[in-house]
Structure 1
Amino acid sequence: MQHTASSGHGLGPHMKDIAQQAWPVLIASWAGVAFAVIDTAMGGHAGALDLQIMALATSIYVTVFVGLMGVIHALIPILAQHFGAGQLHEVGRMWGQGVWLAAALCLVGCAFLLAPDLWLSVSGDIGPEVRDGVRDYLSALALALPAALAFRAIYALATAVSRPRTVMEIYVAGIFVKLFFNWVFIFGHLGAPAMGATGAGLSTAVVSWIMLAAGLARVLRDPWYRRFSPQLGRPNWREQAELLRLGIPMGGSYLIEVGAFTFMALLAARDGMYVTGAHQIMANLAALCYMVPMALGVATASLTAQAIGARDPALARRNGRAGITLVVAAALITALAIVLGRDPILRLYTDDPQVTAMAILLLTLLPFFHMGDALQCIGCYLLRAYKVTVVPLLMQIVALTGVGLTGGWWLGFGPGRGALAGLIETLIPGAPPGTSTMWIMSTVGLLLSASLLFLWYGYVLRRHARPVGTPEDQAALR
């Protein structure tokens, strides 16, 4: 466990510790999101049809993957608390249980990916060429899912024991491999047929298995990880139940967050091909921006959980305050960068003038959306460090699904359609009213979620004013 800031009472040393652990997480996360950005950029230059196919199919895949990934990420607070308590053998043993969990979850995920019509029913009347393209793309991504989920167990281990550079190096190398296979499969080179959007999905499958092989080699051969005796062992049903008890609410929380993007993309298809493409660019940028508070949240939660495992509640509290400060500062800087860099950013995504025109209008909303996203992100991660997951999930259901997603559908495409048209026309003249309404209401939902999460975090801190980590403490807060 890292104790470098444990003796200080100011936030500076803790902010430094968090930043040192966050930057490799950020690079790895950006590299992971870069896969989708690369697909969108290369597919956008292949044609507007391919961009629409990837907008829909990627949204479906991300929903399935992120929801299941959240379950596996239950490993992070569990492993971090074992690491903070010096229980090194337990770290390696529980990691093996996480690998078994990933293997089981991939069966669930593939079932959803291979049923695209279930998802596309939300999109209204879309052309058969789009529907067939989405089906082929998701079939390719189903090949990627087992490797991608297993790799998240490696990510969880590296993050929990403060070695995030392990996955950063693999992700960065994966970008170059992804670019190469996209070039081969999307446009048809080296004897391969030009497969367009489907080629991007096949490229993702190839890269995912290469990354998993690299990650396993690192965990099993690196002396740092061998000290934990990482082993697959046999599935332990009691420990699987512990992972699921913590992981299912976490997965639900992840699913709610990303599900809004999925259904926004599916609904945006009703506004036409160009709005769908613009929405996809907006969603890619929002995801790219989210990586900053997410990386800071992961680092803050990891160090906080280690402090909890070491029975040091004062250090846990100081880490939390330092993480919140960093996230707010980073969100303000990111919002400014969006405003100043709008035009060159859009040129990287598309050459289509109609997609660009729609994207310029939607990007007006992104700085406000990101601020809400950043605040609710750090709130979630702080609570996860204390293994508090059920109450945050309920809060997000109300705020993100009830107010954000349902409210956005109701006012943008449902019975209340047009209720915000006057406001939108005043603030963003010419913006598509349906899709713009979805983004506005999602921003409102994020800000409400952040407020509720911080209220509950204050309650958790009051309950943990005494030394923490006992089963009784944890059970009282779930």
Structure 2
Amino acid sequence: VRHGMLLAVAFSVLIIVGGVIFLPPFLQGMGLAPEVYHIALWYMAGLGIGVLPFFLITPLRSLVDTLGYTKLSMKIYLLALPVNAFLNYVLIFGKLGLPRLGGIGAGVATGITFWLLLVMFAVVVTKLQPFKQYDVLGFVRPVKHLVAEYLRIGVPMGVAIFMETSIFGVVALFIAKFGTEVIAAHQAALNFSSLIYMFPMSFSLALTIVVGVEYGAKNYQGARDYTALGLEMSLFIAMVYMALELVAREYIALIYTTNPHVIELVKVFIIYAIMWQGGDAVAAPIQGILRGYKDVNATFWCSMLAYWAICLPVGLLLDYKFNNGAFAYWQSLDIGVICSAVVLSLRLVLLQRRIKKDEE
């Protein structure tokens, strides 16, 4: 945890320096109106206030979660929500004698909220058991092999998550050419599907912890039991919400729009989203399991293969060669996530067979 906080400070400095150097010319290159440029620049500067605490929070929260106190982390973040809302109100509209900052105030409010979160986590790990006994905020002299292991595990995980999430931004760029109604339908379906993704993501995070604990304790059978249980629960819950979505497609669309054409498009996109969610119900938990085994390179290469070597080229092919329109990119997302689920499943089977063989 101490080495994680050292790396957090180092990366924070890099992010802040990079923002100071590159953000102004980047925003200028976007051709923004002067007023919009001013708000965007200082909004990001306001967020910059929270870069250091945001990075420092991560290892502290991970300690709390890994020791099984995920509910405590949840309570801390829930407590921060009304504070953040209050700060937004005060700073955006200039209440309590403070200047009216408009959009810039939203960035400042978020930055301040991260400092509040850091203070709360610092109090938890220094005052409460079982965290207090570890003295994680004490001084540490950097140890080269610990830093190397941290980066060896952390960097592939981060890049894999980036490759998986960034593909949706790229897809949005290609869908933009089909007009505002298609864009609206795409965003509505994607937004709702992102909410549903919280289910498999939660299994992924939990499985990383429980599998990692059992594997680290050399209780390999316990790790396999958690693996099977997590996948079974994820698939069962997925079948339930996929069936509900299929039946309630029109009602889901009505949450976002009353435009009849957009509603019909959302209903079709939701069908593709359901297939994508089925693949994610397998792929996301297995990613968490493999991370629990410290097999992070597998998730990295799988994300690169599924989303950038398969998904994007297939989407372009279905669009420009077969004229499938905007649906081409949702079809390619389905193909990508199914490929991811298959490859990750094979990797998990091979890994567990190897571990079982080593046991014998």
* Higher RCO (C-alpha under 8 Å, 6+ residues apart): 1
Mapping for residues 110-259 of structure 1, pairs under 5 Å: 110=16, 111=18, 115=23, 128=33, 132=37, 135=41, 137-185=43-91, 193=100, 195-196=102-103, 198-232=104-138, 233-259=140-166
Indicate the residue corresponding to 1:459 in structure 2: 350
Indicate the residue corresponding to 2:320 in structure 1: 417
| Inter-partner Cα distance in structure 1 for 2:123 and 2:208 | 27
Query: Quick one: which amino acid aligns to residue 290 of structure 1?
Result: Y
Mapping for residues 209-358 of structure 1, pairs under 5 Å: 209-232=115-138, 233-271=140-178, 275-342=182-249
| Inter-partner Cα distance in structure 2 for 1:344 and 1:185 | 37
The percentage of aligned residue pairs carrying the same residue is 24
Change in CA separation of 1:351 and 1:199 when aligned onto 2, cut-off 3 Å: farther
- Find the partner of 2:302 among 395, 408, 413: 395
- Per the normalisation by structure 2, the TM-score is 0.84
Change in CA separation of 1:360 and 1:201 when aligned onto 2, cut-off 3 Å: farther
Q: Is the 8 A contact 1:116 1:134 kept in 2?
A: no
Q: Any stretches of 5+ residues in structure 1 without a counterpart?
A: 1-94, 422-432, 469-478
| Inter-partner Cα distance in structure 2 for 1:281 and 1:188 | 33
- How many Å apart are 1:454 and its aligned residue? 0.6
Larger Rg: 2
Query: Quick one: which amino acid aligns to residue 167 of structure 1?
Result: S
SS of 1:455 mapped into structure 2: helix
| Inter-partner Cα distance in structure 2 for 1:265 and 1:333 | 28
Matched residue count: 354
Change in CA separation of 1:214 and 1:243 when aligned onto 2, cut-off 3 Å: same
Change in CA separation of 1:194 and 1:347 when aligned onto 2, cut-off 3 Å: farther
Deviations 1:399-431, CA, capped at 9 Å, x for gaps: 1111123433x247xxx526242xxxxxxxxxx
Query: Quick one: which amino acid aligns to residue 318 of structure 1?
Result: D
| Inter-partner Cα distance in structure 1 for 2:70 and 2:291 | 18
| Inter-partner Cα distance in structure 2 for 1:274 and 1:117 | 33
Change in CA separation of 1:158 and 1:142 when aligned onto 2, cut-off 3 Å: same
Change in CA separation of 1:267 and 1:128 when aligned onto 2, cut-off 3 Å: farther
1:445 aligns with 2:352: no
- Find the partner of 1:378 among 267, 285, 291: 285
Change in CA separation of 1:146 and 1:419 when aligned onto 2, cut-off 3 Å: farther
- How many Å apart are 1:313 and its aligned residue? 1.1
- Per the normalisation by structure 1, the TM-score is 0.65
Mapping for residues 3-82 of structure 1, pairs under 5 Å: none
Q: Is the 8 A contact 1:313 1:466 kept in 2?
A: no
Query: Quick one: which amino acid aligns to residue 292 of structure 2?
Result: A
RMSD across aligned positions (CA):
3.4
Indicate the residue corresponding to 1:12 in structure 2: none
Change in CA separation of 1:453 and 1:244 when aligned onto 2, cut-off 3 Å: same
Q: Any stretches of 5+ residues in structure 2 without a counterpart?
A: none
| Inter-partner Cα distance in structure 2 for 1:180 and 1:359 | 35
- How many Å apart are 1:203 and its aligned residue? 3.3
